[in-house]
Amino acid sequence: MSQAATPFIIPANRWSAEVAAGLSPAELLLYRSNLLGSDLTVTNFGGGNTSAKLDQTDPLTGETVKVLWVKGSGGDIGSMKLGGFSTLYLDKLLGLEQLYRGVAFEDEMVGYLPHCTFNLNPRAASIDTPLHAYLPFAHVDHVHPDAVIALAASSGGEAATREIWGGEVGWMPWKRPGFDLGLTLRDYVAKNPGLRGVMLAGHGVICWGDSAEACYDNTIDLIAKAAAYLNQAMAGKPAFGGEAVAPLPPEQRQSVAAGLMPRLRGLMSGDRAKVGHFTHARETLEFVCSAEFRALAAVGTSCPDHFLRTKIAPLTLDPEQVGDDDYLAKALADYRKAYAAYYGRNATPNDPKMRDANPVVVLLPGVGQFTFAADKTTARLAAEFYANAINVMRGAEAIGAYNGLPESEAFAIEYWALEEAKLQRMPKPRPLVGKVALVTGGAGGIGAATAEKFLSEGACVVLADIDAEALASCESEFADQFGADLVRAIRCDVTNETSVAAAFAFAAREFGGLDILVANAGIASSAPLEETTVALWRKNYDVLAEGYFLTSRAAFPLMKLQKNGSIIFIGSKNALAATPNASAYASAKAASLHLARCLALEGAEHGIRVNVVNPDAVIRGSKIWDGDWRKERAGAYGIDPGEALETHYRNRSLLKRSVLPEDIAEAVYFLSSEASSKSTGNVINVDAGNAQAFTR
């Protein structure tokens, strides 16, 4: 029997009089904005905007003037600072009405907004600025909570609005954001005095107050009443016509995701690789497993904030056929063809060229939702926005029929010249954006330095290490430095097939595939031949030869799906140059070097490159050199294991320089980047020069 529909969460009023007491008017606006934007029951990431009309001293005249403070273009009210607000002379904004030539010239009006800037504020004003400017209220909030958009996107929404709020909240039919909407809203409010807000069909709610606190209270109360009304309408009933497909058990869903995501990623054509995100939250499963799933998914999303992140509609897959590669290839090709037709039906000669036609959202009954984008954060946000769309559909269907935007309106927003201009202003992506790397021994000196280099260049990184404590510390540090979206960690024993398989499945599930493997997990031992036990010999070969074999074998099928990849072995000078009292270690390193050459031959036809970086005496930051290896090597050379050992290795080199983990990371980065795209089967020595280790 199907469960009752997932209820909407009722937002709590989190205003603190104590916190607000010491804030300036501008700081109160920021406080209100951050409270609203940090609550996902109120608005989604980057969604909504807030404003206040404040008295300021004109720097030119010294007179007091009204200035509109409004969230600037592209900001997020949940995390923004004061610098995220645009500030504009209110009288100049209002005067723009005299220049308005109609809806065909909306873009022209946006071009006038910078001329209204107050105090040389560089923050660009958003397209919603007229909504705030032309309302006569001191404080205005415009947010997109799921419960409210569910009303705004339902055939029963207008009637429900009257039932919930009586005559206190108005209703306006869909109108594209812009200057005309601002004027129409102003006139509507003037003709309907006493309103506390207006429902904008397909868009959200706009409301106001005489103070920052009153405006916040109004916003929260409106959302809470909408959510309570919808919960009552859904009470005791299954969502979306009830369950048609049973969700797979959680572990099986994760296994399917790990197998499917690299296949989807490999079939998505384009100039740059994509990063994937998987979610199987309750709300998602409730939708994709339902009887009405396919019909509703085809309608598309309703709110501009949603489909700008997700495209207007997702790709839906048949769970009975996803194991067939031909089926997947055809499904993606058909989606791209349909998207191109959508573009062709709506585009004019003045519109931007068609963008990437691959789906952003892919839905699979019984399993969940997959999203793909140029980077992990964008993929995750797309998943969150489609979850918002699911919530909207659930609420809208409870009181009527869910309505998507007309296709022409959706296209006009997706390909708006202003949106294109925003995309064109974005900085060029860093070289490894869209790439996924797995680094074994990722919590050690060379591994961590390599991961840090990859992250700084935009890659997503999976840290794999047998040391759980060091791994957790490293993951936390990198998450703080680069953002939690980009880094994952998993404990992995490279000598254990099951552990290795789990690590690579984890990478596939978390990021969608694999582009770079750095086989770095290592040990070191020193003993004369006669004192080298079979156990010590096997331990070196288990980690340094078999470990490299197992991780490469796990990487190959993932990289074949992407039709490219880069595998880098962290070798050793000792793979090329003999050394006393280390036959097990040195010969195992030599074995892994030759393994790399063999794999370079096998991988070439699939675009997989395999290369080796040979360090020497990377002492600083190394866990290996913190143990017995340091004493053993010092003993082999008859010197003190302290500073004298590092001095010995530095002076032994041709360049008389110490080799650091960051130096190895630079070489690894080169071999993983486009700069070395025509190099495979190669060895780069990073040893400050050692004639014995010259490769030729």
Tokens (6 digits) for 652 = 């032994």
For residue range 658-689, list pLDDT tens digits in order. Answer: 888 999 999 999 999 999 999 999 999 998 88
CA 668 to chain centre: 25
pLDDT score of 404: 86
Residue 647 scores a pLDDT above 70: yes
pLDDT of residue 294: 95
> Given pLDDT bands bounded at 50, 70 and 90, which one contains residue 282?
very high
Render pLDDT for 86-137 as a digit per residue (tens, 0 to 9). 999 999 999 999 999 998 888 889 899 999 999 999 999 988 999 999 999 9
pLDDT at 601: 98
Contacts of residue 67, defined as CB under 8 A and 6 or more positions apart, other chains included, come to: 53, 54, 55, 56, 87, 88, 89, 90, 118
Q: Is 217 a residue whose pLDDT tops 60?
A: yes
Question: What does the pLDDT read at residue 89?
Answer: 98
Q: Could you tell me which residue, 560 or 176, shows the higher pLDDT?
A: 560
Look over the chain and give the mean of its residue pLDDT values, rounded to a whole number. Answer: 92
Q: State the Cα–Cα distance between residues 567 and 94, nearest whole angstrom.
A: 61
User: C-alpha angle 404/406/411, rounded to 5°?
Assistant: 110
Strand partners, 333: none
Contact 231/8 with Cβ under 8 angstroms?
yes
- Of 317, 315, 247, 312, which Cα lies nearest the Cα of 282? 247
The tokens for 670 are 């080169």
Q: What is the pLDDT of residue 637?
A: 65
- Beta-bridged to residue 125, according to DSSP, are 72
DSSP characters for 546-564? Answer: IHHHHHHHHHHHHHHHHT-
Which pLDDT does position 621 carry in this prediction?
A: 61
| C-alpha to C-alpha distance for 517 and 595, rounded to whole angstroms | 15
Tell me the DSSP string of 136-173: --SEEEEE--HHHHHHHTBTTHHHHHHHHHTTSEEEE-
CA distances for 384 relative to 72, 280, 305, 436, 498, angstroms: 22, 12, 11, 21, 32
- Residue range 528-554, pLDDT digits in tens: 899 999 999 999 999 999 999 999 999
pLDDT tops 90 at residue 516 = yes
pLDDT at 643 over 80: no
pLDDT at 630: 60
Give the residues across from 517 on adjacent strands: 438, 567
Q: Which pLDDT band, with edges at 50, 70 and 90, does 301 fall under?
A: confident
For residue 188, give both structure tokens. Answer: 């509507």
Interior/surface letters 423-440, b for 16+ CB within 10 angstroms, e for the rest: eeeeeeeeebbbbbbbbb
Whether 671 and 435 have beta carbons less than 8 Å apart is answered as: no
pLDDT greater than 80 at residue 220:
yes
Number of helices and strands in the chain (H, E):
26, 18
**How do beta strands 487-491 and 460-465 pair?**
parallel
For the ranges 29-33, 381-385, 406-410, the maximum mean pLDDT occurs at 29-33
CA–CA separation, 339 and 333 (whole Å)? 10
Question: Would the pLDDT of 635 be above 70?
Answer: no
Phi-psi region of 310 (alpha: psi -120 to 50; beta: other; left: phi over 0): alpha
Active site amino acids: 585
Range 230-236 average pLDDT: 95
pLDDT, residue 418, reads 64
Write down the pLDDT at residue 1: 36
Residue 384 class from Cβ within 10 Å (0-12 exposed, 13-18 middle, 19+ buried)?
middle
Confidence class for position 2, pLDDT limits 50, 70, 90: low
Percent of the chain with pLDDT over 70: 94
